[in-house]
Amino acid sequence: PIAGSMVLAAVLLKLGGYGIIRMAPTNISTILIYPMIAMATWGIIMTGLTCLRKTDLKALIAYSSVGHMGLVASATLIQTPWSTSGAVILMIAHGLTSSMLFCLANMLYERTNTRMLIAMRGMHKAMPLMTSYWLIASLTNLALPPTINLIGEIQIMTTLFNWSPLTIMMTATGAAVTAVYTLQMFMTTQQGHMTKDSKETYPAQTRELLTMILHALPILLLTLNLELIY
């Protein structure tokens, strides 16, 4: 269910990150940190490449969450003030963005009865207002400046680079792949000609617009004033 996916992305993944922050200093030895960070950073690239070939919209968003949490996991294992701060910022930003994307995907599913990307094309013509929220969610997901997502990712990438310069290859590649599949998702769902089955699509309802506002407004407020987190 879409509600379960939203709770999983917005709350449960963040509980896991909080658990790593609390337990990593005492329960993980220094020797184990190296392979765990290597797997976490490599997972960013692998999940990104998986998203590039996904045709299921909901699965694409879910794999995107895994890639972002790989950054969080690698940052929390280093256990420096800068990395922990970046991990907290990215967790909050990703919780809002991923939940918003899941909700948008469910709105398209309710109208098309499919989760295939190719069957959802041309939704800009039927739901022009929702395209704005798709654009906000997509741009924050790929960490467009000056969104809060970028601040968290820059802090994590800087910390990882100071810890080991080799990590910049994986984190930078992961960021580039994230931008590619996010823009591909946006263009596929919003542009092009509508299918015959989706021409009877009804516009966005008030409850759906309210849900989008409740996601977009915190993202905007945190972007304008990051001190609200602390």
Q: Is the pLDDT of residue 148 over 60?
A: yes
Distance of CA 30 to the CA centre of its chain: 29
Report how many domains make up the chain: 1
In a domain? residue 199: yes
115 located within any domain: yes
Residue 114's φ and ψ, nearest 5 degrees, are -150, 155
**Residue 131 in domain:** yes
Q: Is residue 120 a part of any domain in this protein?
A: yes
Flag whether 53 is in a domain: yes
Question: Is 25 within a domain?
Answer: no
Residues 105-127: tens digit of each pLDDT: 988 888 888 888 888 888 888 78
**Burial tier of 67 (Cβ tally within 10 Å: 0-12, 13-18, 19+):** buried
pLDDT digits (tens, 9 = 90+) for 30-63: 677 888 888 989 999 999 999 998 888 888 998 9
Classify residue 23: in a domain, yes or no.
no
User: Is the pLDDT higher at 168 or at 127?
Assistant: 168
CA distances (Å), origin 166, targets 83, 151, 202: 17, 21, 50
Domain with 140, as residue range(s), is 2-18+30-229
Q: Is residue 63 part of a domain?
A: yes
Answer whether residue 197 shows pLDDT above 70: no
pLDDT band at 25 (very low <50, low <70, confident <90, very high): low
Distance in angstroms (rounded) separating the CA atoms of residues 119 and 117? 5
Q: CA nearest 106: which of 212, 24, 32, 188?
A: 212
* Statement: residue 229 has pLDDT above 70: no
Instruction: Give 33-46 as a 3 state SS string.
Output: HHHHHHHHHHHHHH
Say how far apart CA 148 and CA 56 lie, in whole Å. Answer: 27
> Is the pTM value of this prediction over 0.85?
yes
Over residues 185-190, the mean pLDDT reads 89
